[in-house]
């Protein structure tokens, strides 16, 4: 026993000139053994009491290197990891998921809205009853005004040829595709007629602007094309429907009502937001420093529209044969891809005849705004048109249903395109910095 005791003293004696062994919470000194930390072992012990104390200790003590603060005094119970280390480990493991959600926030929000509308339509119908979609559109244009810099307005004015072609594409050229759609035979025929009517509509009221802003495009140009095409569409859409679809049969629109609605939901919040930005420097600084946050708010507001539309159409959707509805969905997706291809080809042609790479159409910000805004069609105006037609072209619900699917298709598809463009720009930036 005396030999074992002497050997233990030799092991625990420090090297001459070396500091005592330390851990973050526990300090040991020799030849007298003292403990300081969470566990209390009493005061300093004499060497003569050490064997008795060792016999009373029933667990093995492990001392880790104090250079790592994550390492703690442990027993056979296992590691006692501090909360700070656990939180950092959790965040490190969740970082890929958070990056994925951040880079694909808009499509995920839209898909979530559609899913919620299919699972529980009562909430979406209640939101429609209280005009939540109009408030969401007002919110999007309010944010657009708050984040609209004066130099962006100047860039939109400088890009007036791009905006002029955009208006022509939205109101005059893309409606011609309705003639091709009417050649398709599908039962119920209202699906085909509804998509043909959809071609004659102005651009989307909010999603084109929101997507242009997320893509880093000329958002002021997108705003101008959206507002002007919506206001001019009140005059041009009835003419397009009459000549291209109805075969000369007159079609009317509630012009006064639509005009007032567009003024209230588009122009008023846009001007109000811009006035707030110019009047208070703190508002401008906040908006400029929190553009990513405002983009997420934009995406959430935008997802409310498909949520409400799907909730309203769910009962009618269940009445239609699944294979027929899937054909209509595919037709809507093909229509949007066709419009994207048509406008992309038109941009290339216009670049070729107006200066090549120096053309104003070759500017990436202008071309992305034109491509996104001119290739989308609005659903609320279509619903107003169908209501005024009074069953002239068939059952109103069946006319609107494929357009709801086409509206969702174009927003979700373009959101994925925007995410892809942003990732591509980020990778190019990383390569340049490297």
**C-alpha–C-alpha distance, residues 164 and 346, integer Å:** 13
- CA-based max dimension of the chain: 116
**pLDDT band at residue 154 using 50, 70 and 90 as cut-offs:** confident
**What pLDDT score does 390 carry?**
64
Each residue of 204-239: pLDDT tens digit? Answer: 877 888 889 888 889 899 989 998 898 888 888 888
Lowest-confidence region among 150-154, 228-232, 389-393: 389-393
The answer for 394, left when phi > 0, alpha when psi is -120 to 50, beta otherwise, is left
**C-alpha–C-alpha distance, residues 177 and 349, integer Å:** 19
pLDDT exceeds 60 at position 134: yes
Average pLDDT, the chain: 77
> Over the range 126-151, which residues count as b (16 or more CB within 10 Å of their CB) and which as e?
ebbeeebbeebbbbbbbbbbbbbeee
H/E run at residue 175: none
**C-alpha–C-alpha distance, residues 292 and 319, integer Å:** 41
Backbone φ and ψ for 251, nearest 5 degrees, come out as -130, 135
- 111-117 average pLDDT score: 84
Each residue of 328-381: pLDDT tens digit? Answer: 889 999 999 999 999 999 999 999 898 888 889 999 899 999 999 999 998 877
Each residue of 219-228: pLDDT tens digit? Answer: 899 989 998 8
3-state SS class at 312: helix
> Over the range 204-243, which residues count as b (16 or more CB within 10 Å of their CB) and which as e?
bbbbbbbbbbbbebbbbbbbbbbbbbbbebbebbbebbbe
**Burial of 391 from C-beta contacts in 10 A (0-12 / 13-18 / 19+):** exposed
**C-alpha–C-alpha distance, residues 242 and 233, integer Å:** 14
Each residue of 164-205: pLDDT tens digit? Answer: 999 999 999 999 999 999 888 888 888 888 899 999 999 987
């Amino acid at each position: 026993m005396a030999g074992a005791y002497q050997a233990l003293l030799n092991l625990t004696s420090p090297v001459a000139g070396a500091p005592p062994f330390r851990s973050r919470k526990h300090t040991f000194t020799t030849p007298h053994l003292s403990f300081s930390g969470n566990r209390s072992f009493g005061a300093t012990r004499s060497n003569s009491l050490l064997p008795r104390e060792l016999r009373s200790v029933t667990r093995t003590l492990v001392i880790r290197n104090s250079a790592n603060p994550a390492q703690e005094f442990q027993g056979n119970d296992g590691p006692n990891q501090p909360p700070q280390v656990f939180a950092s480990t959790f965040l490190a493991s969740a970082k890929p998921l958070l990056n994925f959600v951040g880079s694909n926030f808009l499509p995920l929000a839209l898909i979530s809205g559609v899913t919620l509308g299919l699972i529980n339509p009562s909430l979406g119908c209640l939101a429609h009853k209280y005009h939540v979609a109009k408030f969401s559109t007002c919110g999007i244009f309010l944010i657009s005004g708050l984040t609209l810099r004066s130099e962006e307005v100047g860039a939109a004015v400088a890009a007036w040829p791009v905006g002029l072609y955009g208006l022509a594409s939205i109101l005059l050229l893309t409606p011609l595709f309705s003639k091709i759609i009417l050649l398709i035979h599908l039962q119920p025929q209202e699906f085909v007629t509804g998509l043909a009517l959809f071609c004659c509509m102005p651009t989307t009221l909010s999603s084109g602007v929101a997507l242009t802003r997320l893509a880093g495009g000329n958002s002021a140009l997108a705003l101008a094309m959206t507002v002007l095409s919506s206001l001019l569409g009140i005059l041009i859409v009835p003419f397009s429907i009459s000549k291209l679809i109805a075969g000369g049969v007159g079609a009317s629109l509630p012009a006064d009502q639509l005009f007032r609605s567009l003024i209230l939901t588009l122009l008023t919040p846009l001007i109000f937001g811009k006035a707030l930005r110019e009047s208070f420097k703190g508002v401008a600084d906040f908006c400029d420093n929190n553009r990513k946050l405002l983009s997420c708010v934009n995406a959430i507001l935008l997802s409310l529209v498909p949520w409400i539309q799907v909730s309203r159409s769910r009962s009618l959707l269940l009445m239609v044969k699944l294979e027929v509805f899937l054909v209509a969905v595919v037709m809507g997706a093909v229509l949007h891809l066709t419009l994207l291809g048509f406008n992309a080809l038109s941009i290339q042609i216009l670049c070729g005849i107006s200066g090549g790479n120096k053309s104003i159409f070759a500017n990436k910000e202008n071309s992305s705004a034109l491509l996104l805004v001119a290739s989308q069609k609005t659903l609320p105006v279509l619903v107003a048109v169908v209501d005024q037609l009074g069953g002239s072209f068939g059952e109103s619900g069946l006319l609107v249903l494929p357009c709801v699917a086409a509206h969702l298709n174009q927003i979700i598809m373009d959101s994925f395109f925007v995410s892809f463009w942003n990732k591509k720009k980020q990778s190019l930036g990383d390569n340049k910095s490297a």
